[in-house]
Amino acid sequence: MSRDQIHTERAPAAIGPYSQAMRCGNIVFLSGQIPLDPASGDIVDGDFATQVRRAFDNLKAVCAASGGDLNKIARLGLYLTDLANFAEVNAVMAEYFSAPYPARSTIEVTGLPKGAQFEVDAILVID
């Protein structure tokens, strides 16, 4: 099975030796997205919800470049530096996803790249 790299200018460039996503057959593995502005490469200004929205917007852009969309995501991984923000993540996620929701894990971490408070990764299935 071939592995095809996915890249879009509509999401931040990788900040290390990895791809934004890799397509293997009809499955796309999306790397973690933090709330970076794609143009500047800097964390967006604003509150926690603003950061979560930017990360989901970045994920959405990579999904589109892969030939899919958020509704085709089978699994999400959410990483928060403070689980006290769990309810706020759920509220923002409800703006981007509708039932049936993807499978998901939510994990508190001690730190994320560039001091982000939130990161999301995903597995997408293309029909």
CA neighbor of 69 nearest in space, from 24, 92, 102: 102
In a domain, 127, yes or no: no
Domain residue limits at 109: 3-121
Per-residue pLDDT tens over the stretch 74-94:
999 999 999 999 999 999 999
Q: How many whole angstroms separate alpha carbon 122 and alpha carbon 82? A: 20
Q: What is the dihedral of CA 104, 66, 42, 116, to 10 degrees?
A: 10
In a domain, 126, yes or no: no
> For residue 7, how many C-alpha atoms fall within 13 Å in the half-sphere facing its CB?
7
Q: Helix 86-96 crosses helix 48-65 at what angle (to 10 degrees)?
A: 40
What CATH number does residue 74 fall under? 3.30.1330.40
Domain count of the fold of the chain: 1
Per-residue pLDDT tens over the stretch 16-57:
899 999 999 999 999 999 999 999 999 999 999 999 999 999
In a domain, 53, yes or no: yes
In a domain, 19, yes or no: yes
